[in-house]
Structure 1
Amino acid sequence: MSTPTPTTVRINPSEWNAQFRFDHAQLRPAPREVLTIAGQASVDDDGTVLHEGDVGAQLSLAMHHIEEILATADMTLADVFMLTIYSTDIPGTLAAYEALTERLDAHGATPPAALIGVAALALPGLAIEITAQAGR
């Protein structure tokens, strides 16, 4: 399992963010490679929406897809330097946020992140879509 490099400086002028497992900022050395991950959602291999109405399950499956992509690139969540979570249900997402934080905790990862409320996502029934950027 990879972890943030020892030269990563975590910048947190306040601590309210710790419960959500993100740093306000991170100063990292320039990566040799950058992996950009398009919006991942709760869909099967055919693009059919799964877990409609269950924000927690959608959040978990989207993170699972991100972890699969990272593994294919020989990376983990510890290599992620930015997460953007799009949600049609911010209160529901916050209530189910442990589905994300437990995965981050498993890798000691605290990437800067943004949770953005949107009116709709690409497919009817989706409540969550997550993009990520990773590097090594």
Structure 2
Amino acid sequence: MHRTPVNPWNWSLNLGYNQGEVIEGTSRQLIIAGQTAVDHEGNPQHPNDMRSQIDLALNNLQAVLQSADMDLGNVIRLGVYTTDVDEALKNFDLLGMRFGPIQCAPPMTLLGATRLAMPSLMFEIEATAAA
């Protein structure tokens, strides 16, 4: 897979994502449902702790990727939903710690929501990956 960043301006690079990417040479895609801070039985974890919820949601995202023989470097798009945009942004360094070292900055959308599927959840991340 070959990725070509598309950034008519560079402000989003400071936030860890490209405005767009041209993806070439892929043979398969993985569409990943929203991953949240739930355990292996689907029970919500870390109520009222945004940082821990983001960390667990990212762990769950990586688990789905690994189950498809992919990793974070295969992610070509992220959708992020949160019940508190300001608190989520304070903890976005967690995304940078995972995507930064592999120099992956997939296009991303961040949306605020009044609530997620389960009332105690504060953060959800969905992805598209390609290989």
**Range into which the TM-score falls when normalised by the shorter chain:** over 0.9
Pick from 43, 58, 67 the counterpart of residue 62 of structure 2: 67
Output the CA distance in 2 between the equivalents of 1:62 and 1:106.
19
Shift of residue 109, structure 1, vs aligned partner: 0.8
- Hey, what's the Cα distance between the residues in 1 that align with 2:40 and 2:67? 16
Structure 2 length-normalised TM: 0.95
Matched, 1:94 2:93: no
Q: 2:126 maps to what in 1?
A: 131
Among 77, 89, 96, the residue aligned to 1:82: 77
Which ranges of 4 or more aligned residues in structure 1 deviate by more than 4 Å? none
1:20 to 15, 21, 43: 15
Alpha-carbon distance in structure 2 between the residues aligned to 1:27 and 1:78:
15
Alignment check: 8 A CA contact 1:26 1:112 kept: yes
Q: 1:33 maps to what in 2? A: 28
Q: How many residues align?
A: 131
Deviations 1:56-108 (A, max 9, x none): 11111101111111111111111111000000000000001011111111322
Q: CA RMSD in A?
A: 1.1
Unaligned runs of 5+ in 1: none
- Calculate the TM-score normalised by the size of structure 1: 0.91
Equivalent position SS for 1:81: strand
Q: Which segments of 5 or more consecutive residues in structure 2 lack a partner in the other structure? A: none
Task: Determine if the alignment matches structure 1 residue 42 to structure 2 residue 37.
Answer: yes
Is the Cα–Cα contact under 8 Å of residues 62 and 130 in structure 1 kept in the other structure?
yes
